[in-house]
Chain A
Amino acid sequence: MLRGFYTAAAGMMANQRMQETLSNNMANAYTPGYKADQGTMRAFPELLIERMGSKTIPTKNGFKVPDAGHVGSLNTGVYMQEAVPSFIQGDLKETGVGTDLALVQNEVPDESGSLFFRVQNEDGEERYTRNGNFTVDGEGFLTTNHGYYVLDRNGDPIDTGGMEFKVSKNGELTVGGQAFTLGVSYTSDASQMVKEGNDLFRLSEEGSIIVNPGEEEGVGYSIHQSHLERSNVDPNRTMTEMMNTYRSFEMNQRVLKAYDQSMQKAVTEIGRIS
């Protein structure tokens, strides 16, 4: 009977999820290349509420016929539907370390398009990252800080030999006369990128990606050596959202308690035999 009981509880659960997303954003506020997740709430499917009643037909005996009418629609709860990363460019920080690379997207043809470095995970599969906090491993290959190989435009690991390499704005890596072009991928719909942890993104089954986009796709980017792209988390905004979510959680709790008091009345007052 009291539909709102579960509505309020669902609200609390959704707020809890939201808080988890926000708190993870806050935790990664200083992770280079981190893209803040934005939670979206969604109402449960609508229910049509019907009234049950009867109408008296003005006859001599007062004949009654059932009469049901629509009252309106009601959502019986809310849930967190998705946590979509915001792919806004983070600002650059100068580090002075030659193995730090920042990817800056200058022009992309699609509104939700985004560019990534190509890396290879431990299973040999291609993954994407914006964290350019790279290093050189014991064999001289350029890797991410988890040891995943950074790929060139042909999909091969880059052998830098040592620390002596220069990266130009257009992604050309030169080491002792040899030149590589850093592999970059472009997706026109970044909402299909799924976070996997360790700074990596994976492409979902529906998504599509363009490997090594060039001028014909209208994609312009630049790579900045000795810089890192900072996280695009805004701590002020995140803190405000956390306070908001907390209050919403609190209000749902109040509603839940109010329902409980109604129930108490039903148990202790209506049910009393005097």
Chain B
Amino acid sequence: MNRSMIQSAVTMGQLQKKLDLVGNNLSNSETTGYKSHNADFSSLLYQQINNQSHSDAEIGRVTPEGIRIGSGAKLGHTNFDLTQGSLKNTGRELDVALVEDRHMFGLRVTTEQGEEVHYTRAGNFYLNPVEDGQLLLTDANGYPVIGADGENIILEDNFQAITIDSNGRILITRDQNQLVEGTLNVSEAVRPRMLESVGANRFRIPANVEEDGIMGDVLSGDVKMQSQTLETSNVDVAKQMTEMLMAQRAYQFNAKSISTGDQMMGLVSQLRS
């Protein structure tokens, strides 16, 4: 019966989610390649109450009959903000940063459902030994990085130097000879709103979605990256703090609505005392 309390309670639950989102952004403000998430609100269903039983008595009314009362607000969609994070020079040969907004590296991840391709912006790569004398290029969690030919990047050991150039080619120096022994695969997120965060800095195409057109290939000439550099998170801490204050105030206002509604109920119950 008491709609005002229900509206506020529903909205407070949704505001809590907004706070969760802001909290997650803030805690990842130093995560390499993290893309901040944002969400805005949307109004909820309206109910029409017909409390005008005699339309002939409604003299002077200009709006359609019945009054419509809404049922609060909820979070709309959550979006990633894919803008470029700032670049930080690390001097480490296996760190690369993508410098185009929607480009992503591919990773081969084994999940319970089988092998999946995940995408990431975090370019802090590592070499892990596999079998004898071979090294596998992986991400920070040990998942193989996909090369331009769609295969894992495996390098022979015993080299003097390794560098990644701005087109994603891995240059290996052996006995004063420099050779390209692999190329990083870069894909473009054409419809990034369809991607799903899977944690650990990775995104994937959700299982129930048609894959076509969500990710696109990037021609090798269009690949741009910066070596010995990492992309920092694009979380704007000042903006997130503002959003947090806003959400907190909205929470307080709605809590006030609930307590006002409660006091009104109190007055009703005092009618017979």
Contact = CB atoms under 8 A, between A and B. Distances in A.
A163 B102 contact: yes
A209 interface: no
Interface residues of A, number: 69
Interface string A131-161: 1010111111000011000000000000001
A28 interface: yes
B192 A163 contact: yes
Interface stretch (A50-58, A75-83, A120-128): A75-83
B267 A253 contact: yes
A137 B257 contact: no
Contacts of A265: none
A256 B268 CA distance: 10
A21 B68 CA distance: 9
Interface in A53-105: 79-84, 95-97, 99
Interface string A21-39: 1111011111110100101
Interface stretch (B23-31, B38-46, B89-97): B38-46
Given A26-B254, A162-B191, A32 B271 contact: no
- Output the residue of B10, B42, B61, B214 with the most chain A CB within 10 A: B42
Interface stretch (A177-185, A196-204, A210-218): A196-204
B51 interface: yes
A53 to B, nearest CB: 30
- Chain A binding site: helix, strand, loop or mixed by DSSP? mixed
Contacts of A253: 267-268, 270-271
A45 interface: yes
Nearest to B256: A239
B261 A140 contact: no
B40 A27 contact: no
B63 A28 contact: no
A249 B267 CA distance: 8
B165 to A, nearest CB: 26
Interface stretch (B74-82, B133-141, B219-227): B74-82
- Chain B binding site: helix, strand, loop or mixed by DSSP? mixed
B86 interface: no
Interface in B2-54: 2-5, 7-8, 10-11, 38, 40-46, 49, 51-52
B88 interface: no
A146 B213 contact: no
B11 A27 contact: yes
A205 B66 CA distance: 13
B3 A26 contact: no
B261 A23 contact: yes
Given A27-B73, A81-B58, A197-B70, A140 B44 contact: no
B4 A20 contact: yes
B237 interface: no
Interface in B154-204: 189-194
Contacts of A131: 42, 76
B73 A20 contact: no
A7 to B, nearest CB: 15
Contacts, number: 198
B213 A198 contact: no
A133 B256 contact: no
Given A27-B73, A163-B102, A32 B213 contact: no
A206 interface: yes
B51 A145 contact: no
B10 A27 contact: yes
A166 interface: no
Contact of B213 (A27, A139, A194): A139
B246 interface: yes
Interface in B249-267: 249-250, 253-254, 256-257, 260-261, 263-264, 267
A274 to B, nearest CB: 28
A259 B200 CA distance: 68
Contact of A26 (B8, B61, B69, B190): B8
Contacts of B72: 24, 27-28
Contact of B4 (A19, A79, A97, A133): A19
Contact of A163 (B62, B69, B191, B260): B191
10 interchain residue pairs of minimum CB distance: A145-B76, A197-B45, A23-B4, A27-B11, A162-B190, A204-B64, A31-B41, A24-B70, A23-B257, A27-B72
25 contacts: A15-B264, A16-B2, A23-B7, A23-B257, A26-B253, A27-B10, A27-B254, A27-B257, A30-B250, A80-B51, A99-B193, A133-B76, A138-B194, A140-B213, A145-B77, A162-B190, A195-B68, A197-B71, A205-B64, A228-B40, A242-B260, A249-B264, A250-B267, A253-B268, A257-B271
